[in-house]
Amino acid sequence: MASLMSAPPPLSEAEILGTLNMDCACCICFQPPLPHQAVVVVPCHHLFCRPCLDQAMTKKVECPVDRAPIDGTLVRVEAADEASLSLVQSVGVQCSARRHGCQWEGQWGQWVAEDHGATCSFRGHGVVAVCRVPSCPAGGSSSESTAASILPPSDHESTYLYEHIRLLSHTVKALEEQNRTLKWEMDQLKERLYSAQNDISDWQHASRREREASESSEQRFLQQLNILATNTRPLFPTITVPGVSSLDDQPSASSLHWDENCCSRSASVDQGTLTH
């Protein structure tokens, strides 16, 4: 495997213009790779800085993004494909010494080729990079910010140390408050979920009880109907119960019916007998 290289320097000297397209950024350090270090992993086509990928592959020989296996022999010789290389080189940047008068603006590939970070005539004023602490006076564009940005690193840290601590403390407190709010919302969602689960359980129990009660009522009705049919059979022999061969059989309600024709004929015969 190729020997490890130091990671490319952070973009403190060149500032990205607009929003960086993540298709142009290394999937590990999230910065545009130096054009001669760009690597496209085959076959998943993820873009990496060569140093970032080499360091990741010392742990596992697989893509850090999707865990796809990587052939180490291919990675050592694989250069960025033309499309990816073109995307990386076309990232728009400007010199961070603009506040001191530098008007350089162009593409990342041009910046690297010209080595503008080392040749800019507006540099040499101490720390030009923007301080990363949120709301630090060295991070804005006011006169106070400009004065702070040209201080040597040690002076900048000592001068604005209290301010950095205060700002970071406010940031931590805001994140803690946001965390408490999210936790409260999560608890509310859990309660709603628990209540919905209880409602579903109650509905299931009620439905089961209704079904059992309905089945029990149907059984009682069939038993009473069977008793009624058994008791009235000697009095009404014309009542037929299809499929019942003995009194012990248990007919269903749907199997009982009256033989109306037979009853009509019996009634006519009885009437004729009474007439004579």
Residue 160 has pLDDT above 70, yes or no: no
pTM equals: 0.38
Q: What is the mean pLDDT of residues 152-164?
A: 56
Per CATH, the number for 1-123 is 3.30.40.10
Q: CA-CA distances (angstroms) from residue 222 to 216, 226, 257?
A: 10, 6, 14
Tell me the C-alpha distance between 247 and 227, whole Å.
Answer: 10
The dihedral through the CA atoms of 203, 208, 214, 220 has a sign that is negative
Q: What is the pLDDT of residues 32-84, one digit of tens each?
A: 776 666 666 666 778 887 788 888 888 888 888 888 887 765 554 455 567 77
For residue 43, whether the previous peptide bond is cis, meaning omega lies within 30 degrees of 0, is yes
Q: Which token pair is 260?
A: 């109306």
CA atoms 109, 7, 25, 103: torsion sign: negative
- Rounded Cα distance between 216 and 256, Å, is 20
The answer to whether 129 touches 13, Cβ cutoff 8 Å, is yes
Give the pLDDT of residue 189.
Answer: 92
The DSSP annotation for 123-172 comes to --SS--SPP-STT-GGGSSSHHHHHHHTS-HHHHHHHSHHHHHHHHHHHH
Question: pLDDT above 70 covers what percent of the chain?
Answer: 57
Side-chain-side CA neighbours of residue 173 (13 Å): 6
Which pLDDT does position 99 carry in this prediction?
A: 73
